[in-house]
Amino acid sequence: MLDIILILVAVIILIILALASRQPDTFQVSRSISMAAPPATVFTQINDLQNWQAWSPWAKLDPNAKNSFSGPQAGAGANMSWAGNNKVGEGSMTIVESRPHDLIRFKLDFLKPFKASNTAEFTFTSAGENTVVVWSMSGKNNFIGKLMSLIMNCDKMVGGQFEQGLSAIKAIVEGAG
Nearest Cα to Cα of residue 114 among 134, 155, 142: 142
**Percent of the chain clearing pLDDT 90 (strictly above):** 53
Look over the chain and give the mean of its residue pLDDT values, rounded to a whole number.
88
Domain map of the chain by residue range? 2-176
Q: Per mean pLDDT, which range of 62-76, 99-113, 136-150 is the poorest?
A: 136-150
Q: Which fold has domain 2-176?
A: Alpha-D-Glucose-1,6-Bisphosphate; Chain A, domain 4 (3.30.530)
Q: Is 17 in contact with 11 (CB distance < 8 Å)?
A: no
User: Looking at per-residue confidence, does 177 or 49 come out higher?
Assistant: 49
Nearest Cα to Cα of residue 107 among 87, 77, 134, 65: 77
The whole-number pLDDT of residue 176 equals: 57
Report residue 55's pLDDT band, with 50, 70 and 90 as the boundaries.
very high
Q: What is the mean pLDDT of residues 45-70?
A: 91
The whole-number pLDDT of residue 157 equals: 72
Point out which residues pair with 80 in neighbouring strands. Answer: 69, 93
Distance CA 55, CA 167 (A): 8
Burial-class residue 14 by CB neighbours within 10 Å (0-12, 13-18, 19+): exposed
Tell me the pLDDT tens digit for each residue of 8-34. Answer: 888 888 888 787 777 877 788 899 999
The whole-number pLDDT of residue 68 equals: 95
Tell me the pLDDT tens digit for each residue of 73-129. Answer: 999 999 999 998 888 899 999 999 999 999 999 999 998 887 888 999 999 999 888
Report residue 153's pLDDT band, with 50, 70 and 90 as the boundaries.
low
Phi, psi of 3 (to 5 degrees): -60, -40
- Residue 177 pLDDT > 60: no
Secondary structure class of 128 (helix, strand, coil)? coil
The whole-number pLDDT of residue 21 equals: 76
The whole-number pLDDT of residue 33 equals: 96
